[in-house]
Every structure is written in C-alpha cells, then in structure tokens.
Amino acid sequence: MNGELVGTWTVERGTHVFRYEAAWKKSSRCRSLSLSLPLTGAKEIKGDLVRNYFDNLLPDSEKIRQRLGRRFKTPTAEVFDLLEAIGRDCVGAVQLLPPGESPEDWKRVECEHLSEQDIVDLLQAVPSELTPEGMEDDDLFRISMAGAQEKTALTRWQGAWCRPHGATPSTHIFKLPLGLIGGSRRVDASDSVQNEWLCAKILEALGLPMASTSMETFGEQTVLIVERFDREWQDDGTWIARLPQEDFCQALGFAPSQKYEAEGGPGMAKCLQLLQGSRDKDDPAFFLLTQLTFFLLAATDGHAKNFSIYLEQGDHYRMTPLHDVLSMWPYFGDAPSQFKRHRAGLAMTLRSKNPHKYFHTIEARHWRQLALKNGGPAVWEAMQALVEGVDDALHEVQTQLPPNFPERTWTAISTGMKSEANRFMSEAEGLPPA
C-alpha cells in the first residue's frame, strides 16, 4: 500500500494463504488488508476468506477474465495467475507485485500524454484480445477493476489524459456502453453511459454522496468517465495516494459469485450490521436512503459489490460514495426485447414483517417498517423528505442535460421516478405517525 509491504499472498497445495509482514504491523499506517482478514489473530490466514478477497479484485465477467488470460498468456484463468499479471493497479490501495519487487518512484507522477487518436485506439481495444499497436505489454493494461462492464483506466495529469507508468496509479475509469443485455431477450442498453450519468446526477441532486462522473466522446465512442474516489492527490499535486477501500463482499468474506442476495450473498440486514461499526454514525441511514432511491430509479443492480467502505488506520472504516447505478426504466415494456417490470426488483430484498423483492409489491408502509426498525422515526422522516424532493431534483438535473441527450432515457427515468414518488407519498399519507 503506497510503497509499504503489507504482506505476502501465496497458493500452497491449492490453498490460498496470506501472511502480514511484521514491519507492517508496526507501521504508523497499519490497518488490516480487509475486515475479513484481520491483523490480530493467527500468524497466517488460510482458505476461502483469502481467495474471496483477491477474487473480488478481478472483473466479475468470466468472459472478460478468459480474455485477460489470453491477452497476458497466463497459465490459467485462476485468481492468482490473473492478478499476478494485472494486479499492479487494483481497486483501493492494493498493488500486487512479485516477491522481492517493490514499487519504484511511487511518490511521483510518471505519465505519458495521449492524443485523442491514442484514446480512440485504446477504447477500441478494450473489448478485444489485442492491444493497440505500440502499446504491447504496457502498464496501461495491467490494471484490475472489478465489475461486469467493459472499462479501462487513465490518469488525468496536467490537463490531459495520460497513460500511467510504473507505480503511478490511474485516477479515472472509462466505462463503455453495455450494448445488448439480458441474454436471449437482447435488450438494447446502448444508452447505458447516458443512463448511468443521469442516475449519478439525480443521486447528487437528492443529496446522496456519489462518485463524480462526466461523459466524453473520442472519435465516435462516448464513454462515462468516473473519477476514482480511491485516489487522492498529495503534496500540492506532486503524487497520487491510493486510498485503502474494499467492497461489502470483501469486508464480509463473500465470493464475487455471491454478490447478489439471491445467490447467497449479503442482504440489507447483513450490510446494516456491518455499518453499525462505521466511524460515520449516519452510514446506516445513508444505506437505507440509497435503497429507497434504487426503488424510485428501478435500479436492480444494488448488490454487495456496489457498496464499499474506506479502510482507515486502526481498522476504522466508513462508507465511500456511491457508484455504478443504472436505471431500468428505459428498458421496461411488453415487447420481446424489453424487460417485464412486474418481474424487476431490488437486488436486496426489503424485509419488514414479510420479504418484498419486486418493485410493484413494495409500498410506503414497508419502507416505514424498515426505517423504524433501523434508526427510528428520524430515518422515516428522512425517507419522506427524499421522496418529496424528487421533483425538485429532476428539475435541477434537467437543466444540466447536454445537447442531444437521448430523449428516451430522460423521459423514461424522470416519468418513472415521479410515478413511484407520487405512489409513495400517497401511501405515506394514510400511515399513522411514527
């Protein structure tokens, strides 16, 4: 982490093993690599907890993993082999290097300015097994980012987009459009960049901390650019620190294949239990308000890997800003190439007296019961205030829409949100005082 050796990860007879360095335990910046891999306790940590932590650093998509394996000619597409090849710039502060090797010049910026054509070539190469001419085996591609979407990362430096070299970290993630989603249903999500940008602006307008996003076009390719909240400029912009963080799957010891509650992963109760230990006492309420906003946005992908915490000295922690929010409103309908709304729901089931997963079955009284159980009347009042602010938030965001913003995306999301907000407020009026 930021030039200091934290520990050693090995695979011994098929078992994943992690050992903390003695010097790290004495460091002024000491903290656990993960809440699931605590510093105190055994000399070494073995088994699935170790494997799961590192597995969560890789892209979720098996297709992307296989392609990375072919690109870097790894012996297998297993976690250790892939991260040995691409683990030099991971999410959070982790850098994975061979034994005996340390990051050089990590307290300075080493970057190469890219032309627009360079970036066009780079983006075209992201979903392929090839790298642009002249960029073979470059640091640029030895970057590991979790998630299911095609993406790459660059560094913003001296007013230009740059290719980071050596120990210099990336500062921004470039996300490409999803294209067709939904398996055999083949739903057109080619507007996913605009959709995710719009969701981010709506969340910001509603007062929820959100990763800073922008849209930019290179050649004919529009991408979503997300400023990394796990990076921070230091000493008047002379170097970039990596901020330790992990997603909820890592913190709770789950494999990435369990990111959804329906697949055995964490639900709201497990996440709220984690956040009871947060240094920020408002984090549990923030989490619940986020779930309510997902309901209004018809955002179905709020799984455990899309929530993260900063890891601070002494194993204190707090939630990071939100990221990766996509509304399904533009993709609902009765056509074969659309999703059925009555079958869509939250990634984490809302449990009041009974479980409620599907959007159309969730009512204001269920949110009230959830709020009163997890924070009391103040959380319920915050929920009502958030919903009452939807119209103003949408009006604010509408003034920020760039020219040629897709009408379908704006109309579907804004109309859908208003409809659900009105339903919520109508139902809430008939409820007894908290």
- With vertex at residue 172, the alpha carbon angle to CA 272 and CA 72, rounded to the nearest 5 degrees, is 100
Given the residues 138, 301, 315, 391, the one annotated as active site: 301
Q: Shortest CA distance to 125 belongs to which of 71, 204, 47, 46?
A: 71
Q: Is 301 a catalytic residue?
A: yes
Name every residue whose Cβ is closer than 8 Å to that of residue 370 and which is 6 or more positions away in sequence.
268, 288, 350, 351, 352
User: Do the beta carbons of residue 87 and residue 144 sit within 8 Å?
Assistant: yes
Spatial separation of the C-alpha atoms in residues 123 and 121, rounded to whole Å: 6
3-state secondary structure the chain: CCCCCCEEEEEECCEEEEEECHHHHHCCCCCCCECCECCCCCCEEECHHHHHHHHCCCECCHHHHHHHHHHHCCCCCCHHHHHHHHCCECCCCCCCCCCCCCCCCCCCCCEEECCHHHHHHHHHHCCCCCCCCCCCCCHHHCECCCECCCEEEEEEECCEEEEECCCCCCCEEEECCCEEECHHHCEEECCHHHHHHHHHHHHHHCCCCECCEEEEEECCEEEEEEECCCEEEECCCCEEEECCEEEHHHHHCCCHHHCCHHHCCCCHHHHHHHHCCCCCCCHHHHHHHHHHHHHHHCCCCCCHHHCEEEECHHHCEEECCECCCCCCHHHECCCCCCECHHHCEEEEEEECCCEEEEHHHCCHHHHHHHHHHCCCHHHHHHHHHHHHCHHHHHHHHHCCCCCCCCHHHHHHHHHHHHHHHHHHHHHHHCCCCC
Which amino acid is residue 413, in one-letter code? I
Residues labelled as active-site residues = 301
